[in-house]
Chains A and B, each alone.
Chain A
Amino acid sequence: MTVGLVIVSHSAKIADGVCELAAQMAPDVPLIAAGGTDDVPPRIGTGFQKVQDALVEAERGSGVVVLTDLGSAVMTAEMALEFLDGDARSAVRIARAALVEGSIAAAVRAQSGGSLDEVVDHAESAIVSIDPGALEPFVSHGAAVPSDGPAPPAAGPSVVGEWDLPNPMGLHARPAAVLARELTDMDVEVSINGVDAKSVMLLMSLGLGQGRKLSASASGPDAQRAIDYIGDKVTGGFGET
C-alpha cells in the first residue's frame, strides 16, 4: 500500500476539499481529512483526537505524511505525534509545505509508489511562485519561474519534441500529473518549457493554456520513450478534446 496522507486544516471544508482535489490525481492513496475541531459539527480550529484518529486511518504500512495549514494545525499535529509510540512515530512525517500545493505533490508521489522520504521531499519542494501579472485564464497558478541557473548538462544525446496544446483546459492539474507520474518512472532527464517535467507543480506553474506551444527536451536511456509518451498524450489532448 502507498504512503498515506493526513490533511490537517482549521476548516473541515478545506481539509475535505484538498483531499478531493488530490484524490483526482492519486486515486489509490489514503487521503484522510482532519479539518476543524473535534466537535460535531466541527468548529473552525484543530482537534487533537481527530488528528490522532486520522494518523491511524492513513497508516497502511508504508508510513504517513501530514500536511497542515496555519500555526495551531502544526502544533496539534506535533502533539499527536508525541503521543504515538516510538515505532509508529518514526513512520510519520510532518511536511513543511504549503497545504494545497504540497498535498497534491505528495499525493502524486505517493500514487507512483514513492517512499516516505520521497513523498515528504515532493511536498516540500512544491513551491509555486504566484505572479498575478502572468496569470492565464485557465490556470490558477502564475507563470513558472524556472530555476535561475542553466539546466544541468544532459547525459547523452538529447531528444526533443514540440507540440501545440489542443485541449481546452491546457496543462492543468490532471494532465500535468499524467505526464509527471509516468516520466518519474523513466530513466530520463526531461524538461518541458524549461522546467522539470517530473514535477506536477512545476508543470502546472507554467500556466500553459490551449494553443500554447509545449517544447520538451529529454536525455538519458529512456529519452526517446519519454518524448514519445509526451507527444502521444499531448496530441491526444489528454483525452479531453
Chain B
Amino acid sequence: MALTAEWAAAWLRECARVMTEHRSELIELDRAIGDADHGENMHRGFAAVAEKLNAAEAASTPGEVLKLSAMTLMSTVGGAAGPLYGTAFLRAATGLGDAAEVDADAVVVMLTAARDGVVARGKAEPGDKTMVDAWTPAVEAAETSVSAGASAAEALKAAANAAQAGAAATEPLIARKGRASYLGERSAGHRDPGAVSTGLILQAAADSAGDML
C-alpha cells in the first residue's frame, strides 16, 4: 500500500503516542544537559497535533497533513523544538507538494527538505550534538537504500535506524549549539534530547508505513 494522507496522519498520531510514552526519558535527557522541558514540550506539541488531526477534515494529501502539523507544533511546543520541528515538517510538506502519495524518491526529498530546514533554522552542523546528528545520517541512509531499490517504507526504516544510531552517537560529543553548549565539556556523556526525539519521530514514520504494508 502506498503512503497516502492516511499514512501521514497515522504517522503523526504515532508520534503523539510515542512522545507520551517517552516523555519522562526525554525530560531526564534534557535535565542532564538542558532545561528539562523537551519531554513535556514534545508530548504537548504532538498531542495538540493529534487533536488537530481529529478535529480537521481528513486531509487529501500527505503534504497537507505535514503542514497542519508544522503550524500546530510551532504554536504549542514552546521550546527550541517548536521552530525546529515546525520548520522540518513545513519544509517536508513543501517538498512533497500536492502529491497524493509518497513514493521512495519522495521519502528522500521529504527527509532532505526537513533536514535542510532544521539546519537553516538552528544553524547547527553535524557533530554539534544536536538533532542534525540524527537527521543527517537518516537522509543519507534513505538515499542509499532508495538507490539500491528500496521501497518508501524500507527507506523510512533505514532512515529511522540511522537516526537512532546518530542519536546514540551524540553521547560522547561536546555540545556546540543550543542550551547544552553553555555546559561545555560537561555536556559530554549524555545523548542529545533533540537527536533522540528525531529518532522517535522517524521510527514512528517507519512503523506507521510498515503497518500499511
Contacts and interface: CB of A to CB of B under 8 A. Distances in A.
A115 interface: no
B202 to A, nearest CB: 21
Given A38-B76, A79-B74, A45 B178 contact: no
B18 interface: no
Contacts of B87: 79
A75 interface: yes
A56 interface: no
Contact of A79 (B35, B86, B179): B86
A45 B37 contact: yes
Given A48-B86, A78-B121, A79-B87, A72 B74 contact: no
A49 B121 contact: no
Contacts of B86: 48, 79
**Size class of the contact patch on chain A:** 10 to 19
A71 B121 contact: no
B82 A72 contact: yes
Interface residues of B, number: 20
B80 interface: yes
Contacts of A48: 74-75, 82-83, 86
Contacts of A49: 75
Contacts of B80: 71-72, 75
A44 B44 CA distance: 14
A73 to B, nearest CB: 9
Interface of B: 35, 37, 41, 74-80, 82-84, 86-87, 121-122, 177-179
23 contacts: A37-B76, A44-B37, A44-B78, A45-B37, A45-B41, A45-B77, A46-B78, A46-B82, A47-B75, A48-B83, A49-B75, A71-B80, A71-B179, A72-B80, A72-B82, A72-B83, A75-B121, A75-B122, A78-B83, A79-B74, A79-B86, A79-B87, A79-B121
Given A45-B41, A48-B86, 9 more contacts: A44-B78, A45-B82, A48-B83, A71-B177, A72-B83, A75-B80, A75-B84, A76-B82, A79-B86
